[in-house]
């Protein structure tokens, strides 16, 4: 059950966000003198600031021979009913003698829609959010970006009952993004992205946990090299992305994909090391290799694939001559082989000790199964034997009785 104070706290947060948005929604806050904003589809009224009360005025529209259809002058003000985007423009009002009294630039648009927001953490120390507008408003737009930390320690709760609130810092060089620095791994955050234009505001609240949005940058420094005297091997190495905290605090695991250039199907290998030896490459064929990364404990998502690196395994001198006559046919058949899957499953390259452990486990399991079968067989045999003895005893008694009955009375009674 939610306590009344907690519910009241949430209401206060919503009201604070709404008031902050409304404070920027007034036209004076946009710094455009002589501009009036209006909402598409509503009645818009333009006042003639320089006209005297009761004096007749004339309204004109710059670049047009006539005013928009349906417009009317009422007590010196121009009324545009159900204004459309086409009604936007510069209007001027004039006195009876044609003198200019006032000029106003009318801009029409829509109220903001709820923005689309997504967040990502490339490490466990910062996270960034990006957004796009859900509606083209045709008006100047600003964004208010703040966050509130939800998971607080006892001391933080005593000092600030509504939670720690701070700005999600916007980067002027990257429109539509903001960053929360020095975020905490075990904390949850509520992000508020408010879209504001001269007509009003709309906001999106997004709850964030670091484990859910972690997505490392691609690994860097990918190098692929042929292995001397090993026609089917390639040595691949890479480095942690520069944006990821260094080991051993937070580790990554990696996914390596590779294929011959003329092939369409990828082979995939997973590893926790910073290098891997490909043992099933095609000798003499150029291969393309990429690598991606993910949190070691499987939190979040895989990174994007790194940039491609290419290399060609060495040819085996002993078989070069014999392969000369079949190379063309082999390449043609390899190129025509269809892709088995868009995202093939990782190849299982288990450690020899792991294989030995599996074999021992299977042997122990088979021993217990065999012992159980043997015990059950012995129990069944004992049960059958006992039953056979029980049937034999009455049969012998009847035979003896029959034998006594057949003897003469003199032999029976002495």
The model's pLDDT over 95-139, given as tens digits with 9 standing for 90+, comes to 888 889 999 999 999 999 999 999 999 988 889 999 999 999 999
Label residue 389 by pLDDT band (50, 70, 90): low
Sign of CA dihedral 263, 265, 269, 275: positive
129 token code pair: 């959010």
- Could you write out the three-class secondary structure of 68-114? CCCCEEECCEEEECCCCHHHCEEEEEECCCCCEEEEEEEEEECCCCC
245 token code pair: 């905290």
Most confident stretch, 84-93, 329-338, 371-380? 84-93
Beta strands 188-197; 142-149: pairing state? antiparallel
pLDDT above 90 (res 144): yes
% the chain with pLDDT above 90: 48
The structural domains of the chain, with segments of one domain joined by +, span 41-108, 116-213, 220-352
pLDDT above 70 (res 238): yes
pLDDT above 60 (res 401): no
254: phi then psi, degrees, rounded to nearest 5? -130, 155
Which strands sit side by side in the sheet containing 275-278, from one edge to the other? 220-226, 234-239, 275-278
C-alpha R_g of the chain: 42
Q: Supply the pLDDT for residue 87.
A: 93
Sign of CA dihedral 184, 188, 194, 195: positive
Q: What is the mean pLDDT of residues 384-411?
A: 56
Mean pLDDT taken over the chain: 80
Nearest alpha carbon to residue 339 among 265, 236, 255? 265
Q: Supply the pLDDT for residue 233.
A: 94
Q: Which CATH superfamily is domain 116-213 in?
A: Immunoglobulins (2.60.40.10)
Q: What is the mean pLDDT of residues 275-283?
A: 94
Q: Supply the pLDDT for residue 354.
A: 55
Tell me, yes or no, if the two domains 41-108 and 220-352 fold the same way.
yes
168-216 tens-digit pLDDT: 999 888 899 999 998 887 788 999 999 999 999 999 999 999 889 999 9
Comparing 44-58, 130-144, 269-283, the range with the smallest average pLDDT is: 44-58
Label residue 9 by pLDDT band (50, 70, 90): very low
Looking at domain 41-108, which of 3.20.10.10, 3.90.1150.10, 2.60.40.10, 1.10.3720.10 is its CATH number?
2.60.40.10
Q: What is the mean pLDDT of residues 280-290?
A: 94
Sign of CA dihedral 154, 159, 160, 161: positive
Q: Supply the pLDDT for residue 117.
A: 95
Annotation: CATH topology of 220-352? Immunoglobulin-like (2.60.40)
Q: Supply the pLDDT for residue 96.
A: 85
Most confident stretch, 14-28, 286-300, 317-331, 380-394? 286-300
């Amino acid at each position: 059950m939610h306590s009344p104070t907690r519910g009241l706290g949430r209401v206060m947060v919503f009201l604070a966000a709404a008031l902050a948005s409304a404070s920027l929604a007034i036209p004076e806050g946009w710094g455009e003198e002589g501009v009036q904003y209006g909402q598409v589809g509503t009645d818009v009224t333009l006042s003639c600031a320089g006209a005297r009360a009761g004096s007749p005025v004339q309204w004109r529209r710059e670049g047009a021979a006539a005013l928009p259809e349906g417009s009317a002058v009422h007590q010196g003000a121009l009324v545009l009913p159900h204004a459309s985007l086409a009604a936007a423009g510069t209007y001027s009002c004039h006195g009876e003698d044609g003198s200019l009294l006032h000029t106003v630039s009318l801009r029409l648009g829509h109220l903001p829609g709820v923005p689309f927001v997504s967040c990502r953490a490339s490490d466990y120390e910062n996270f960034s959010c990006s957004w796009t507008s859900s509606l083209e408003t045709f008006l100047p737009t600003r964004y208010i970006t703040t966050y509130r930390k939800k998971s607080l320690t006892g001391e933080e709760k005593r000092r600030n009952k509504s939670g720690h609130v701070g700005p999600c810092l916007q980067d002027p060089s990257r429109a539509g993004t903001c960053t929360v620095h020095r975020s905490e791994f075990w904390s949850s955050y509520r992000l508020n992205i408010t879209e504001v234009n001269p007509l009003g505001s709309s906001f999106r609240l997004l709850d964030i946990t670091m484990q859910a949005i972690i997505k490392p940058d691609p690994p860097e420094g990918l190098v692929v090299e042929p292995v001397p005297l090993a026609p089917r091997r390639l040595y691949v190495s890479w480095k942690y992305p520069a944006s990821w905290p260094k080991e051993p605090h937070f580790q990554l695991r990696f996914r390596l994909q590779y294929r011959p250039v003329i092939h369409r199907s990828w082979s995939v290998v997973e590893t926790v090391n910073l290098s891997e030896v490909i043992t099933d490459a095609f000798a003499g064929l150029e291969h393309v290799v990429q690598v991606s990364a993910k949190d070691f404990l499987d939190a979040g998502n895989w990174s994007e694939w790194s940039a491609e690196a290419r290399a060609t395994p060495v040819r085996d001198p002993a078989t070069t001559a014999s392969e000369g006559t079949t190379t063309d046919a082999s390449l043609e058949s390899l190129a025509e082989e269809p892709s088995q899957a868009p995202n093939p499953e990782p190849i299982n390259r288990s450690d020899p000790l792991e294989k030995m452990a599996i074999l021992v486990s299977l042997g122990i399991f088979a021993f217990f199964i065999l012992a159980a079968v043997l015990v059950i067989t012995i129990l069944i045999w004992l049960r059958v034997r006992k039953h056979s003895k029980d049937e034999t005893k009455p049969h012998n008694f009847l035979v003896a009785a029959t034998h006594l009955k057949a003897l003469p009375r003199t032999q029976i009674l002495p």
